[in-house]
Amino acid sequence: MSEVAHLKNDNEKRHSFYQQYQTLTDETVASERQSRNALLQQIETEQQLLLETEKSSYDFVIVGLVSVLLLSFGIYFFYNRKLNREYAHFESLLQKIASEGQIKPVRDAAYSIQETVYKGIAIPEKTEQFILDKLAEFEKTTYFNNPGISLQSLAKKLNTNTKYLSETIHVHKCKNFNTYINELRINYIIKMMTSDARFLNYKVSYLAETCGFSSHSAFSSVFKSVTDLTPKQFVSFLKKKNEKQ
């Protein structure tokens, strides 16, 4: 009986150990499964975040490219329209030169009003006509390109005085002495550029020196005020026109 009880007790212990082992194994498997599921879920979440990040980056790149393209098109459109408008203005200047022999800048309203109310000194009619005739002869020369020209030197050359000369220029040319000389210079250099293609290959500084300006900047400023174009624009347009012919 004692042996039977002993065997029975051993079986119960083995069964108990087996159950404990089975429970531990089930818990281990469940824990591993849980860990694996958690890891898979984490990987899936990270992949989803990565996909969303890549999509956001892709969308950002697309939006950026579209914006750049639209901006580039807008800049090109407005630049091209501005260029066409400037070229049309350039052609109108050439027509003025062909019909009138010179470019006459449009005077603003303020100057016109000032001219209307202006009261200068009285000049004898014969003297005034004499000065006008002398100015007409002067304009056919290139003396105005002399860098040292002044109201005094021109008055001496025309055999008159500075007051009469300044008054005649103001009344009949509607400008002061410096503006009168500068516009003669600009018209001269434009005629040279339109008649001699070699002038289109010269530097702006040389063009300025040729027509008596003391500096590149002074020449460019006056050229712009007379033609509403820079010297470089005018040269570029003239080359373009010559290529078409």
pLDDT digits (tens, 9 = 90+) for 42-88: 887 878 888 777 777 777 778 777 777 777 666 766 666 766 787 78
pLDDT tens digits, residue range 4-53?
A: 555 556 566 666 665 666 666 666 767 777 777 777 788 878 788 887 77
pLDDT tens digits, residue range 140-155?
A: 999 999 999 999 999 9
Q: Which is more confidently placed, 113 or 84? A: 84
User: Which pLDDT band holds residue 113 (cuts at 50, 70, 90)?
Assistant: very low
Q: Distance between CA atoms of 211 and 70, rounded to whole angstroms?
A: 45
User: Token pair for residue 95?
Assistant: 């027509």
pLDDT value, residue 116: 39
Q: Distance between CA atoms of 167 and 119, rounded to whole angstroms?
A: 10
Longest Cα–Cα distance of the chain, Å, equals 167
Q: Distance between CA atoms of 131 and 97, rounded to whole angstroms?
A: 25
- Report yes or no: 173 and 180 within 8 Å, Cβ to Cβ: yes
pLDDT tens digits, residue range 166-190?
A: 999 999 999 999 999 999 999 999 9
pLDDT value, residue 95: 83
Q: Which is more confidently placed, 29 or 233? A: 233
Q: Distance between CA atoms of 157 and 52, rounded to whole angstroms?
A: 86
Q: Distance between CA atoms of 169 and 217, rounded to whole angstroms?
A: 26
Is residue 105 pLDDT above 80, yes or no?
Answer: no
Is residue 213 pLDDT above 80, yes or no?
Answer: yes
pLDDT averaged over every residue in the chain: 82
Quickly list H helices, the chain.
2-100, 109-117, 125-139, 151-157, 162-173, 177-195, 204-210, 216-227, 231-244
- pTM of structure: 0.66
Radius of gyration of the chain (CA): 46
Q: Distance between CA atoms of 8 and 14, rounded to whole angstroms?
A: 10
- Report yes or no: 177 and 138 within 8 Å, Cβ to Cβ: no
